[in-house]
A and B are shown apart, each in its own frame.
Chain A
Amino acid sequence: MTLNRSPELATRPGAPRLIYRKPDVLADRSTHYCPGCGHGIVHRLLAEVMTELDLPAHTIAVAPVGCAVFAYDYLNVDFVEAPHGRAPAVATGIRRVRPEAFVLTYQGDGDLAAIGTAEIVHAAARGERITAIFVNNGIYGMTGGQMAPTTLLGQKTTSSPSGRDAALMGYPIRITEMLAQLPGVTYAARGSIADAPLIGKLKAMIKRACLVQIEGGGFALVEALSNCPVGWGMTPQESLEHLKGPVVEAYPLGVIVDRGVAVAASGAGTAAGGPSAAVPVVAAEPEA
């Protein structure tokens, strides 16, 4: 990111330098998210990337149902609310009638990986030119911490009070890997908000997912592993440690597929395919 350095300040020796500034597209207000929640970090990264790529003025975004239902209160771009799980279908409609728009969806794991599985799979299968941000915190936060499709085995939630039992409740879904199998998916990656270096990598993934759309690629998805201190029954610090431990073991980090033709210098890993790659390559290698 370009540093917003004020020229006159920079000339004076010892003067304070502005190295960090709120992007204009991020609304000037506090969020409704719980203390320690990762949604704010993902919003911030999106705002930075959109600003760097000059996207806000022609963005049409789709808000989900769940904790991020009020995403439009924090990102100053045109927004439409989707019914629970339907954001990829709503985005498809926008994309088809507005070829010039930058189309963005933002969904949680209950929204994308449970009630909205049909919509996300088929938007990906059609190779819709949209950028999907998927925040996975392994729980239904908004409704009080119930089990999600992504909840870890053994994890206690308000609807799995004895812990998630695979025999009764099935296994966590790695939906990003599932989607990466589809030829319509140009880019699929999983990052994390657990610490500053990981946040930097996550930002690069988000940027790459936006560039794929700008460059005319197909469906691009970034899964952001996030925390839910309240739903998990942990302090924010404990939740971040948990995120770096059991969560990342279940959900390995890295670029899962990149079938992009023109790979921008986004720093989000190299293209697994490349210009002549007729056969999609899936490289799910953990970074951590």
Chain B
Amino acid sequence: MTEPLEIGISPRSAEADAGRRSRVLMKGNEAIAEAAIQAGCDAYFGYPITPQAELLEWMARRMPELGRVFVQAESELGAINMALGAAATGARVMVSSSSPGISLMAEAMSYMAGSGTPMVLVNVMRAGPGLGGIGPSQSDYFQATKGHGHGDYRVPVLAPASIGEAMDLMATAFELAERYRTPVMVVLDGILGQAMEPVELRFRNPERHAFDWALTGAAGRPARIIKSIDLVPEVLEKRNLNLQRKYAEISRQEVLWATESMEDADYVLVAYGTAARVARSAIEKARARGIKAGLFRPITLWPFPSRELARISRHAHAILTVELSSGQMVEDVRLAVEGRCPVGFHGRMGGLVPTPDEVVGALKALHGKVERTRERDREQQQKRHDGRSEAQSGLHRAVVDGPPERTHRTEAGVNASGRDGGER
């Protein structure tokens, strides 16, 4: 990496270099566990699953040392429902698992979102579907950002790209959970869980607040109820509208993203987690071959940094999304870009990670398509100029953009704003 990370809204403290001397080599899962402990986690509930088992093991040793709560549950269902109970009393609570376990936790996530119960959940993603494999993956993006349990709800999803950043984000996760009374997910792929990196032992313990909703026993006050049920449709709709207001507030206030090498970039790689690390290497290689590429890295997957990406897409020749999946985040990228520029995708599945060379290859292919399209557009314009306009450009764009409906949106957008796509 040749230049410093540029972060949209920094969850880091300013003195990045000051702590260099206190760097130690830590495994991702263990570093995250320790960061949660230092962030004041009162109780951890877990169940063994690869590739997050070291997180559970670290908690098993450290939490009792500190007089805090560790329980190995009978299942992920048990673990997250223990978390639900502990969190209902106002405790700072965390669970962790990997993909198949998160599917089991989905039920309680819905209840906790519905009843406003704060909790931090770490998913060290492995390859699916089903039992799949234990290799790294980002194929739970849909689950994390649009899925898990039933009902109209969202949870903030934080996606670090390094172990150090993951440690920072654990404190952020607890802050968000308590500020908004919501479960918060931290998603990592198996590499970030298993790899060792030098990290600074710098921790943050978010301030504690008295909760006027926590169950502590109804001494000297009316009894409190934490629930999600409401059988009166009008009341339940109101409850849902309140939730949606909360999500709108989170979308306004809590978006995190980072960019690198974007100042002169014609091509933008969009990637998070380990895929962003691969993209970073690919960008250096691409630049060496004359393709000016930069990195846009969402840190919150929900709320997705749509506005920021939309802004960037106005000047980009094309965007390439890189994921350890069949292409999940790329849907949000396309929604944000709204056809303003072509959006390509490169990903690997099954526990494999794209190599920088693969990404450069995909970028070159996209670059070639864009150049051909621009050339055709120029010819088209020349023809129109010559009075032989046949308006075929839509078809040319479709080649680059994929499904025709996005092409139409592109054309409509370009025409409406009076810009000519051929000039870019």
Mark A residues whose CB is within 8 Å of B: 56-60, 62-63, 69, 72, 76-83, 86, 89-98, 101-102, 118-119, 121-122, 126
B82 partner residues in chain A, CB cutoff 8 A: 89-90, 92-93, 96
Judge whether B143 is part of the interface by a CB distance below 8 angstroms.
no
Within the complex, the shortest CB–CB distance from A244 to chain B, in Å, comes to 34
User: A81-B229, A96-B71 provided; 13 other pairs, C-beta below 8 A?
Assistant: A63-B227, A77-B217, A78-B216, A81-B227, A90-B82, A90-B85, A93-B84, A93-B87, A94-B85, A94-B86, A119-B77, A119-B81, A122-B78
Instruction: Tell me the complex Cα distance, A190–B88, Å.
Output: 30
Within the complex, the shortest CB–CB distance from B149 to chain A, in Å, comes to 9
Q: Across the interface, do A81 and B223 meet the contact criterion of CB distance under 8 Å?
A: no
- 22 contacts across the A-B interface (CB closer than 8 A): A56-B218, A60-B217, A76-B218, A76-B222, A76-B223, A80-B226, A81-B228, A82-B85, A83-B84, A83-B111, A86-B84, A90-B84, A92-B71, A92-B82, A93-B43, A93-B81, A93-B83, A93-B87, A96-B43, A96-B82, A119-B78, A122-B78
Closest A residue by C-beta to B149: A83
Mark B residues whose CB is within 8 Å of A: 42-43, 45, 69, 71, 73-75, 77-79, 81-89, 91, 93, 107-108, 111, 115, 215-220, 222-229
A81 partner residues in chain B, CB cutoff 8 A: 111, 115, 225-229
Q: Across the interface, do B86 and A93 meet the contact criterion of CB distance under 8 Å?
A: yes
Within the complex, the shortest CB–CB distance from B104 to chain A, in Å, comes to 11
Within the complex, the shortest CB–CB distance from A83 to chain B, in Å, comes to 5
B93 partner residues in chain A, CB cutoff 8 A: 93, 97
Q: Across the interface, do B42 and A80 meet the contact criterion of CB distance under 8 Å?
A: no
Instruction: Tell me the complex Cα distance, A119–B75, Å.
Output: 9
Closest A residue by C-beta to B227: A81
A62 partner residues in chain B, CB cutoff 8 A: 85
B91 partner residues in chain A, CB cutoff 8 A: 97
A90 partner residues in chain B, CB cutoff 8 A: 81-82, 84-85, 88
Q: Which of A86, A91, A122 is most buried by chain B, counting CB atoms within 10 A of its CB? A: A86
Q: Across the interface, do B77 and A118 meet the contact criterion of CB distance under 8 Å?
A: yes
Closest B residue by C-beta to A105: B85
A92 partner residues in chain B, CB cutoff 8 A: 71, 78, 82, 85
Instruction: Tell me the complex Cα distance, A83–B84, Å.
Output: 10
Known: A78-B216, A81-B227. A98 touches B111 (CB 8 A): no
Q: Please tell me which one of the listed residues B77, B88, B111, B115 contacts residue A94 in the complex, with CB atoms under 8 A apart.
A: B88
Q: Which of B82, B107, B218, B225 is most buried by chain A, counting CB atoms within 10 A of its CB? A: B82
Instruction: Tell me the complex Cα distance, A60–B89, Å.
Output: 9
A102 partner residues in chain B, CB cutoff 8 A: 217
B77 partner residues in chain A, CB cutoff 8 A: 86, 89, 118-119
Q: Please tell me which one of the listed residues B69, B83, B84, B225 contacts residue A72 in the complex, with CB atoms under 8 A apart.
A: B225
Q: Across the interface, do A97 and B89 meet the contact criterion of CB distance under 8 Å?
A: yes
Closest 10 A-B residue pairs measured CB to CB? A93-B85, A89-B81, A93-B86, A90-B85, A93-B82, A122-B74, A58-B217, A57-B219, A81-B227, A86-B81
Q: Across the interface, do A94 and B215 meet the contact criterion of CB distance under 8 Å?
A: yes
Q: Across the interface, do B218 and A78 meet the contact criterion of CB distance under 8 Å?
A: yes
Q: Across the interface, do B78 and A80 meet the contact criterion of CB distance under 8 Å?
A: no
Within the complex, the shortest CB–CB distance from B65 to chain A, in Å, comes to 16
Q: Which of A56, A63, A80 is most buried by chain B, counting CB atoms within 10 A of its CB? A: A80
Within the complex, the shortest CB–CB distance from B379 to chain A, in Å, comes to 62
Q: Across the interface, do B108 and A79 meet the contact criterion of CB distance under 8 Å?
A: no
Instruction: Tell me the complex Cα distance, A97–B81, Å.
Output: 14
